[in-house]
């Protein structure tokens, strides 16, 4: 990043020379094409001579071709008919092998008075260079383009350095190297992630004091796999290991190995390892390792993805091949550990798996603190409040919230970033961009949306296991026309009651419309999709249906190409029936709940129509405090 600071530099590199050569060749081609004299017939030549317009004819005997130059006074006369200029010869004509030039030209001139006779030059052409050029120009241009494109591919389409030497370096690794003094991330830049940090501290120690371990005969682990959802700080953590141990950091993405040419991936793996060994001790970080490390042979028959398998085999071989005490430690990141090849995870390869989870409340607070270091915040700002209002956010989301809030405050010319800016940023990330064209909704549509959202809110408020409703809005955002914000409880285990009540909260919108309008609308598509997914996971995965029994048809190792179902047609019918039954039950529960609080429900919807945005306090004023589960009954 630092490189791009300041003014934009017009970088000069080899590509410019190639481009200039290609442009030059194209110019030459066009210049030759446009300079070509116009073709005419022998009969026209005779007419031109007869009208005294011809100055000279050069006849090339061995090519049976003549070049005709007009008198300068006659050029204008032919301009309307032919594309010619003053440049001579203006015309070229071809004759048959039977043509007798001496005889024909003599006849031509004999008809003219002596002083008007045309100058005739006969010659044999021995300069073949222009001909060769004509033949070669086009293939040369094609070759130039081909070479230029392959240079790009050779670099994997990236400007990441490493291999930059064109087609000949296509098999070179495209990884980025940060030397030890360039790695400026340490553990203090990585907030939270307590468990992961505890495990990774060990790796720093392996790099710093290898002798402590090798003296006792222990082998230093070769690699560790950082597993977790996107944006949780896996890359940051790997970089901080290099920063703490003060060693160089190689980083490459799994997809960088994959190329359309056979053997390139494997050769890039070899190259990466040989570079890393030369820089030992160092950290090699492979991001998104699932791009190459997917289990082999799973989709055989659909695509013969041999190239990826070869790359993976090479990776396995290299990991086996280097001495574990050589000081190279490989960290890899993925969020799909379930699809990785088992051979990659066995002892001696990525045998350590470090879980990098979404941050909890305390961790989110720390991450906010890290990212607020550089932001001018209001002194009153409560960081705990921010952490509380961002459940389910990853580190990257929090970094984004901080940046968005600062941008919003700057747009409003504020001196400090305050709480409202942060709340707006959170809303924007959760719900999408506010849409100003809310006027396109008719009054009737707006009323339906108000009742729909009030339905979600009231069910969420009254059922103890539903997440806390924190805000309801009628302002369209992203694809939604209205939104109800919840503060999810960060549970690790979810009970059946919990799931049923969540489905009821989702049904709140649809049921509200049915009660008020007497019919349903298309507005509940997203809710129904989620309800159906929840109900089918209860039946098919979690064994929560009495009729289907304690069975789970979840297959962690499945691929997109598993077409056969692990159950019979009869069970399939039973599953369908049970899913429908659960959804029906949730629908009835929701209808009864809203009907039994109809007055409050209508009040809530009217308040929403009036204010457009209502908060938890407004709901509490109508419905009383949020109904919570009994203290020791948290399911």
How much helix, strand and coil, in percent to the nearest 5, is found in the chain?
Answer: 55, 10, 35
- 395 contacts ligand ATP (rule: CB under 6 A): yes
Task: List binders of ligand ATP among 583-622 (CB under 6 A).
Answer: none
- 175 contacts ligand ATP (rule: CB under 6 A): no
Query: Interface with ligand ATP by CB under 6 A: which range of 69-77, 392-400, 432-440, 457-465?
Result: 392-400
Query: Interface with ligand ATP by CB under 6 A: which range of 48-56, 216-224, 225-233, 411-419?
Result: 225-233
β partners of residue 512 = none
- Confirm if 22 and 148 have CB atoms less than 8 A apart: yes
- 545 contacts ligand ATP (rule: CB under 6 A): no
Of 69, 232, 251, 310, the one binding ligand ATP (CB under 6 A) is 232
- 193 contacts ligand ATP (rule: CB under 6 A): yes
**Integer Cα distance of 241 and 630 in angstroms:** 45
The distance from CA 498 to its chain's CA centroid, rounded to whole angstroms, is 36
Nearer to ligand ATP, 234 or 456 (CB): 234
Number of residues engaging ligand ATP in binding (CB under 6 A):
19
Nearest C-alpha neighbor of 423 from the set 566, 615, 136: 615
- 236 contacts ligand ATP (rule: CB under 6 A): yes
Nearest C-alpha neighbor of 268 from the set 158, 355, 372: 158
**Integer Cα distance of 192 and 210 in angstroms:** 27
**Residue 237 CB, nearest approach to ligand ATP (Å):** 7
Q: What is the DSSP string of 428-494?
A: HHHH-PBPSGGGGS-HHHHHHHHHHHHHHHHHHHHSTTSPEEEEEE-S-BTTBSSEEEEE----SS-
**Integer Cα distance of 72 and 18 in angstroms:** 41
Q: Which two tokens stand for residue 295?
A: 């289990």
**Residue 330 CB, nearest approach to ligand ATP (Å):** 15
Neighbours of 15 (CB within 10 A): 14
Nearer to ligand ATP, 198 or 562 (CB): 198
Q: CA-based angle 610:612:616, to the nearest 5?
A: 100
Nearer to ligand ATP, 1 or 278 (CB): 1
Give the x-and-dash track for 351-390 against ligand ATP (CB under 6 A).
----------------x--x--------------------
Query: Interface with ligand ATP by CB under 6 A: which range of 54-62, 188-196, 451-459, 598-606?
Result: 188-196
- 535 contacts ligand ATP (rule: CB under 6 A): no
Neighbouring C-alpha atoms within 13 Å toward the C-beta of 155: 16
**Integer Cα distance of 30 and 14 in angstroms:** 25
Q: Which two tokens stand for residue 52?
A: 């005294």
**Residue 253 CB, nearest approach to ligand ATP (Å):** 9
Tell me which residue has its CB nearest to ligand ATP.
Answer: 395
- Confirm if 492 and 481 have CB atoms less than 8 A apart: no
- 234 contacts ligand ATP (rule: CB under 6 A): yes
Residue indicated by tokens 């709140």 = 508
Nearer to ligand ATP, 190 or 512 (CB): 190
**Residue 245 CB, nearest approach to ligand ATP (Å):** 18
Nearer to ligand ATP, 315 or 399 (CB): 399
Of 192, 281, 327, 509, the one binding ligand ATP (CB under 6 A) is 192
- 190 contacts ligand ATP (rule: CB under 6 A): yes
Peptide bond before residue 89 is cis, with ω within 30 degrees of 0: yes
DSSP letter for 196, please: H
Q: How many residues would you count in the chain?
A: 635
- Confirm if 238 and 199 have CB atoms less than 8 A apart: no
Peptide bond before residue 281 is cis, with ω within 30 degrees of 0: yes
Task: List binders of ligand ATP among 398-427 (CB under 6 A).
Answer: 399
**Residue 436 CB, nearest approach to ligand ATP (Å):** 30
- 240 contacts ligand ATP (rule: CB under 6 A): no
- 284 contacts ligand ATP (rule: CB under 6 A): no
Give the x-and-dash track for 308-337 against ligand ATP (CB under 6 A).
-------------------------x-x--
- Confirm if 354 and 226 have CB atoms less than 8 A apart: yes
Nearer to ligand ATP, 234 or 296 (CB): 234
**Residue 442 CB, nearest approach to ligand ATP (Å):** 42
**Residue 175 CB, nearest approach to ligand ATP (Å):** 15
**Residue 159 CB, nearest approach to ligand ATP (Å):** 19
Q: Which residues are catalytic?
A: 453
**Cβ-based burial of 259 (10 A; exposed 0-12, middle 13-18, buried ≥19):** buried
Nearer to ligand ATP, 220 or 241 (CB): 241
Give the x-and-dash track for 431-460 against ligand ATP (CB under 6 A).
------------------------------
- 286 contacts ligand ATP (rule: CB under 6 A): no
Strands 65-70 and 328-334 come out as unpaired
Nearer to ligand ATP, 244 or 287 (CB): 287
Query: Interface with ligand ATP by CB under 6 A: which range of 48-56, 373-381, 394-402, 622-630?
Result: 394-402
**Cβ-based burial of 213 (10 A; exposed 0-12, middle 13-18, buried ≥19):** middle
- 191 contacts ligand ATP (rule: CB under 6 A): yes
Backbone φ, ψ for residue 627 (5° rounding): -75, 120
* Site residues, ligand ATP (CB under 6 A): 190-193, 230-236, 287, 333, 335, 367, 370, 395-396, 399
């Amino acid at each position: 990043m630092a490189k791009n600071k300041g003014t934009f530099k017009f970088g000069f590199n080899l590509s410019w020379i190639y481009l200039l050569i290609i442009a030059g060749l194209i110019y030459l081609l066009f210049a030759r094409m446009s300079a070509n004299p116009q073709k005419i017939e022998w009969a026209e030549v005779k007419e031109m001579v007869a009208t005294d317009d011809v100055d000279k004819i050069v006849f090339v005997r061995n090519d049976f071709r003549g070049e005709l130059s007009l008198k300068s006074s006659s050029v204008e006369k032919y301009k309307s008919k032919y594309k010619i200029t003053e440049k001579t010869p203006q015309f070229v004509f071809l004759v048959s092998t039977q043509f007798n030039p001496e005889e024909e030209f003599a006849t031509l001139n004999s008809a003219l008075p002596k002083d008007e006779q045309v100058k005739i030059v006969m010659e044999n052409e021995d300069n073949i260079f222009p001909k060769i050029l004509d033949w070669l120009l086009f293939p040369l241009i094609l070759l130039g383009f081909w070479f230029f494109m392959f240079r790009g591919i050779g670099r994997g389409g990236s400007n990441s350095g490493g291999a930059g030497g064109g087609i000949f370096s296509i098999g070179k690794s495209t990884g980025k190297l940060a030397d030890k003094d360039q790695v400026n991330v340490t553990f203090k830049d990585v907030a939270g992630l307590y468990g992961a940090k505890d495990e990774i501290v060990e790796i720093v120690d392996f790099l710093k004091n290898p002798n402590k371990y090798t003296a006792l005969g222990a082998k230093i682990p070769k690699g560790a796999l950082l597993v977790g959802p996107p944006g949780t700080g896996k890359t940051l953590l790997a970089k901080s290991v290099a920063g703490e141990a003060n060693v160089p950091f190689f980083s490459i993405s799994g997809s960088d190995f994959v190329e359309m040419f056979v053997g390139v991936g494997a050769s890039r793996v070899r190259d990466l390892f040989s570079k890393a060994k030369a820089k030992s001790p160092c950290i090699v970080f492979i991001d998104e390792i699932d791009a190459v490390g997917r289990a082999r042979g799973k989709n055989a028959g659909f695509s013969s993805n041999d190239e990826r398998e070869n790359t993976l085999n090479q990776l396995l071989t290299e990991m086996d091949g280097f001495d574990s005490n050589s000081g190279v430690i490989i960290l890899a990141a993925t969020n799909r550990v379930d699809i990785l090849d088992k051979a990659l995870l066995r002892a001696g390869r990525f045998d350590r798996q470090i879980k990098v989870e979404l941050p909890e409340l305390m961790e989110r607070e720390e991450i906010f603190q890290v990212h607020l270091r550089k932001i001018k915040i209001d002194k009153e700002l409560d960081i705990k409040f921010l952490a509380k209002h961002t459940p389910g956010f990853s580190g990257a989301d929090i970094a984004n919230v901080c940046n968005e809030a600062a941008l919003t405050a700057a747009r409003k010319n504020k001196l400090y970033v305050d709480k409202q800016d942060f709340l707006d940023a959170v809303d924007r990330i959760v719900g999408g961009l506010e849409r100003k064209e809310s006027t396109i909704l008719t009054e009737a549509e707006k009323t339906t949306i108000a009742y729909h959202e009030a339905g979600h809110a009231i069910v969420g408020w009254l059922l103890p296991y539903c997440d806390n409703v924190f805000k309801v809005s009628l302002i369209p955002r992203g694809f939604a026309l209205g939104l109800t914000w919840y503060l999810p409880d960060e549970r690790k285990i979810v009970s059946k009651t919990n799931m049923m009540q969540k489905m009821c909260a989702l049904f709140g919108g649809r049921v509200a419309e049915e009660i008020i309008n007497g019919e349903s609308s298309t507005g509940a598509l997203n809710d129904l999709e989620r309800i159906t997914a929840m109900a089918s996971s209860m039946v098919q995965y979690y064994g929560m249906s009495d009729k289907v029994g304690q069975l789970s048809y979840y297959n962690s190792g499945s691929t997109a190409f598993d077409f056969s179902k692990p159950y019979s047609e009869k069970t399939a019918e039973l599953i369908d029936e049970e899913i429908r039954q659960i959804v029906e039950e949730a629908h009835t529960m929701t209808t009864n709940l809203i009907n039994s609080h109809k007055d409050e429900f209508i009040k809530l919807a009217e308040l929403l129509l009036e204010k457009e945005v209502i908060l938890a306090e407004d709901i509490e004023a109508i419905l009383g405090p949020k109904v919570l589960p009994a203290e020791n009954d948290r399911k």
